[in-house]
Amino acid sequence: MRRYPIPLGRWLLVLTVLALAVALAGIYHLERGLRARAVEEFARVDARQRSLMVFETLYAAMRAGWGKDDIAPIIERLNRVAPGVEVRVLRGEPVIRQFGEIPGERAVREADPVLQAALRDGREFLRTERGTVRYVYPVRVRDECLRCHTEARLGDVNGVIDVRMPVGEVRAPVTVVARSVAVSGVVLLLVVFALLNLELRLGVVRPLRRLVEAMAAVEARRDYGRRVDERGRVRELVVLARQFNHLLEMVERHTRELEEYAVRDTLTGLYNRRKFEEFLAFEVQRARRADTEFCLVMFDLDNFKHINDTFGHPVGDLVLREVGRLVQEGLRTTDLAVRLGGDEFAVILPETEPEAGVAVAAKLHRRLTEAEIALPTGTTRVTVSMGVVSYPRNGDSPQALHGAMDVAMYEAKRAGKNRLVHLGPEEQARVMEVFAQADCLRRALDEDRVEVVFQPIVAAADGTVVAYEALARVALRGAEAKAGQFIYVAEQVGLAEAVDLRVVERVCGLVQAGGLGDAPVFVNLSRGTFGDPARMAEVTSRIRAAGVDPARVVFEITEREALPHLGRLAPQVQALREEGFRFALDDFGSGFSSFMYLKYLPVDFVKIEGTFVRAMPRDPRDRALVEHMHGLARRFGLRTIAEFVEDAEIAAAVRELGIDYAQGYHYGRPAPVGRVRERG
């Protein structure tokens, strides 16, 4: 159990009591010392007064002509007046020489050093011993004394008056006075300490307690809005409270900013993906309880990379900010706009039926595509690919709705971009099929059912095998699925990278085991891997880690992979070629921009689109196109590969045109490595 030090209030009380105890002890010892000194001084004064009284009485008697026989009774009467007080008068040398010795005095003088000193030096003597105060008063010769004491000189000691009295005679009045003063001092001291303790509690303890309570509240409840009363008597504590309040204000402000950063996109001011996931889960639960519908709109900017590459990222950020503003201003107050990341945005439309959601999305689409965005170099417009899905029609969970949105976005892109796609009832079956296939694909990856088959690539002149193309196959629902049948699903659900890495691992293992001889291997990767430098770096690092010579690996690139990332892909391809990897441009001639890639992509092989090759024996135009593509590739110093060579007639046409290599069912179907090597 954790033990805390004593509280300040109790500590001050203990300190006050200790200080009071020390003060009382000091007063006690001081009172005793002062009382003893006062007794001594009072005894001196009293004894001196008695001595003077005795002297004056005796002097008056002697002036009246009294003798020693008359003086003795006077002394006796003085001693009787004050019981316990003893007064003696002893002669000094001048009086003894003139009037003689009184019997018995010599013995008294000789036995008492004090009397001897007083008679010799003329000094007063005061001593307290055994409860008695003794005062010895020397009587010196004055002018009037010389008339009778002719043997004496002025200033001589004629005698001494020895007064002895009980201490009680002096102590009692002094004690009363001393104790009165002491009691008064103690009372005053108690009052002063009580007032001091009260002032410390009010001026120090209470402000500090308020400060500690505020700190505890901040720690326990994160109550950064709490403030401490800044009023007080002590300047340092007032400054401390003021600084603490200022610190709380700063923490509160920074906390609000951090909360904003945690849920807001700093560039556009819209909510971020994290908050989107929270809102989506909440909206699903709310719609499920209330049995209502809502819609999701997702869109991204078409060819946004072109803006970044052309004008720079600051201009790209400006475009994103303006898009965020247009989205926010174009929605209803109940709608929630989100920037998911990059150029992707989403909108949640609560309590909105599918038809109304499509109308809102169409309005937003027009607003975004018709707006002119001001740039430092002029103005521009953007196009967006947008998908709309609804709950519960397209999914009854956040995960299902995410998948439906991805499908809708893919459909918008596939339809030619700058499209609005709504997944209606007729598309729902396809969405469910995508989810079912995705589940099967995950299980296949977990159960290691992703296999690789190989198709030979031969020299067109003599049919000698010169290379192999690696093709992925997955057992889905009891049947073998080709890459074209599952790669779309893999890309939609984020499994394409796992499939690519699994294929690369299989190929590397076979190459290292010598299963493919010395022939190079053509490898197909997904669009996402070619478009992501980090994923591409992972693939090549796996190959190098397996100890495979990069020169034996040829990556195939299609127009679909090249077009969106051409600006970044070209230097990436060149860098990998410098490491030894080679590249082939697949399906050459299938797109309108195919010939442009020969100029900008540093590839090693050109694989001529198989639909043209297959039709050469029947259509002279296809033959002319293939011949032209082969000649153009040779002009660029590239090797050509004819695809879809399915019979001897097509093979003969390929040889006649001088194409370097051929691939197709005529030379071998895709098969496991053992079977394909047997046929080879």
Domains of the chain: 34-173 (3.30.450), 222-263 (no CATH), 273-423 (3.30.70.270), 445-679 (3.20.20.450)
pLDDT-derived band at 258 (thresholds 50, 70, 90) equals: low
Mean pLDDT of the chain: 82
Q: Which residues contact 27 (CB under 8 A, 6 or more apart)?
A: 182, 185, 186, 189
Beta bridge partners of 137: 161
Contact residues for 204 (Cβ-Cβ < 8 A; gap 6+) = 8, 12, 234, 237
Q: Are 152 and 98 in contact (CB under 8 A)?
A: yes
Known catalytic membership, residue 343: yes
Mind spelling out the 3-state secondary structure of 108-171? HHHHCHHHHHHHHHCCCEEEEECCEEEEEEEEECCHHHHHCCCCCCCCCEEEEEEEEEEHHHHH
Residues in the chain, total: 680
pLDDT tens per residue, range 148-178: 777 778 888 888 888 887 766 555 555 566 6
User: pLDDT tens digits for 469-515?
Assistant: 999 888 766 566 666 667 767 776 678 888 899 999 999 999 998 88
Q: Please tell me what DSSP assigns to residue 550.
A: G
β-bridge mates for residue 422, sequence order: 388
Beta bridge partners of 607: 641
- The residue with tokens 């046929």 is 679
User: Alpha carbon 466 to chain centroid distance?
Assistant: 60
What are 389's two structure tokens?
Answer: 């899905």
pLDDT digits (tens, 9 = 90+) for 361-378: 999 999 999 998 888 878
Q: What is the H or E stretch that residue 555 is in?
A: strand 553-557
265, 302, 343, 500: which is the annotated catalytic residue? Answer: 343
Q: Which of 408, 336, 417, 414 is nearest to 369 (CA)?
A: 417
For the ranges 29-38, 298-307, 429-438, 558-567, the one whose mean pLDDT is highest: 298-307
- Give per-residue pLDDT as tens, 28-82: 777 676 666 766 667 667 767 776 777 677 666 666 655 666 667 777 777 777 6
What is the pTM for the complete model shown? 0.48
**DSSP state string for 582-613:** EEEEEEETSSTTHHHHHHHS--SEEEE-HHHH
Q: Is residue 250 predicted with pLDDT exceeding 50?
A: yes
* Helix 620-635 vs helix 648-657: crossing angle, to nearest 10: 40
Spatial CA neighbour of 74 closest among 85, 84, 66: 66
